[in-house]
Structures are given as structure tokens and as C-alpha cells.
Amino acid sequence: MGEDGVTDEPAAVWPGGFFTLRTTAPPGGAHRPLARLYAGETAPLASRIDMVAARHRTRERRVAASIAQLGLAARLWSIALGSATLTGRFPDLSSAALHWDPRASCPDDLWLSTAETLPGTAERIREVVQHGHLVPLAEAIHRDGPLSDRLLWGNAGSALAGALSQLVDLARATHRPEVAARARALTAELFDDPDLRNTGSPHDTAFRRRSCCLYYRCPAGGLCGDCVFGGT
């Protein structure tokens, strides 16, 4: 894992910024441990949702909250799944060590204050990402305003399938079928969970979700490729 990415793979073949992770604190001091957000420090999340609402020109706070949660979920799954797929381990993304800047543009800017890594099994990824982040993040979203659990878990499932799709594309570009096989196996295990199992199907790159992230309600929005309403 390096400052500009989670592995030493050439930057030209990496899927994009959702898979990158800082390992040193950037200047400015705006990053804060996600643990503080989960513990009840709501102002940064409220600020993030306000910023997303302004960027997408929506007056519906629930729409902006959904988009904000989906973006952070995509970052968390991507870092963990990408590292585990390519190296067999992934960074210890504990909420106390993972720092987030709510003011940054998409994708969410994250830096990690520890160099510890964990075995890249689905069980450990679920423990760290799903239970360590997505569950308390949903609770934080609920403190800001009403948004259904079905929608939030649908976002989580969509983000996981999206990370898989990017890794499969990477595998094709680098002629490494074993990367695609490993990513698919890990993703299938992660989807085999009560909170994720029924968010959509199939549990691979053809994923179609059973809920909507509400992006279509933005003035310039539309249907996502995996949208329940039939996006393409």
C-alpha cells in the first residue's frame, strides 16, 4: 500500500480514485477520525450532506444524504476488496484510524494513520467495513434525517458490486484472470449476509439493485446502470 494507492500496481491500470488511500495526513487539518462521526459528532456529516445537495442542486435532503452515504460506502468497499484481491491482505480500516475530510469532492478523501494490515478474507472485510463502518454510518445518517434502511443497504450492495466491476475490468486490462476470480469469490461471500443478500441480483458485475439511490430526483440526475427502474 502506498500513499497514492493500495498496492504497487501501475497507476495507469488502476480503476480510479475510489481505490486510493493516503498514508500520511494532508495539509490543512480538516480530516477527522470516522469514529468521531459514529460516536455522535454530527456537524461534519451535516456539512457533507449540505455540500452534496448544493453540488447536485437538490432541495431534498434525503437525496443528498443517500448520495453521500453511497460515495463513502464505495470508497470503503473498494479499498478493502481491491487490496484483499490483489495482495491477500487489506489495510486495517478501523474507524479510529481512518480519517475523513467532509469538505473534499468526490471521491471522499481518506487517510489512514496505521500501517497495520489484516487477512483479506470476506469475514474480516465484513467485520471491518460492514459492521465497523456501514452500520454506524447508517445510524449517523438516521440522526441527520429519515432515510430507509432498505435504501441504505441497497446503496451498500450497489457500491460492493461496483467495486467488483472495476476489479474485473482491471483483471481484463492486465490479463490476470486470477484477479477476477478472487474478486468474484470474495464478493459472493460478502453478499451472503442478511443485510446484503436481498439488495439486488445477481451478485456479480450484472448486479441490478432492488431499491433506488434517488439520484434521478436531482435536476441533472438520471438512472444509474444498476437501477431498479431499469437504468442502462
- For 186-207, write each residue's pLDDT tens digit: 999 999 999 999 999 999 999 9
pLDDT at residue 9 is higher than 50? no
Mean pLDDT, rounded, for 107-130: 95
Q: Which residue has the higher pLDDT, 139 or 28?
A: 139
Average of pLDDT values for 135-142? 97
Instruction: Say if CB 211 and CB 150 are below 8 A apart.
Output: yes
Q: Is 2 inside any structural domain? A: no
Q: Is residue 208 a part of any domain in this protein?
A: yes
Is 1 inside any structural domain? no
For residue 16, what pLDDT is reported? Answer: 64
Closest listed residue to residue 120, CA positions, set 91, 96, 78, 159: 91
Q: What is the pLDDT of residue 105?
A: 78
Whole-prediction pTM: 0.91
Query: Can you tell me the mean pLDDT for 142-159?
Result: 95
What per-residue confidence (pLDDT) applies to 25?
87
What local confidence, expressed as pLDDT, does residue 28 receive? 80
| Nearest by Cα to 210 from 149, 139, 150, 128 | 150
pLDDT range class, residue 168, cuts 50, 70, 90: very high
Q: How many domains does the chain have?
A: 1
Q: Is the pLDDT of residue 222 over 60?
A: yes
Q: What is the DSSP string of 17-57?
A: GGG--BSSPPTTS--EEHHHHHTT--HHHHHHHHHHHHHHT
| In a domain? residue 222 | no
Within-domain flag for 66: yes
In a domain, residue 224? The reply is: no
| Contacts (Cβ under 8 Å, ≥6 apart) of 74 | 18, 107, 159, 162, 163
Answer whether residue 79 is part of any domain. Answer: yes
For residue 75, CA distances in Å to 50, 97, 176, 217, 230 come to 20, 15, 23, 23, 25
The pLDDT value given to residue 223 = 87
pLDDT for 15:
57
Residue 99: which domain range? 11-217
Measured CA to CA, the distance from residue 122 to residue 190 in angstroms comes to 6
Flag the least confident range among 17-26, 73-82, 115-124, 144-153.
17-26
Whole-number mean pLDDT of the chain?
89
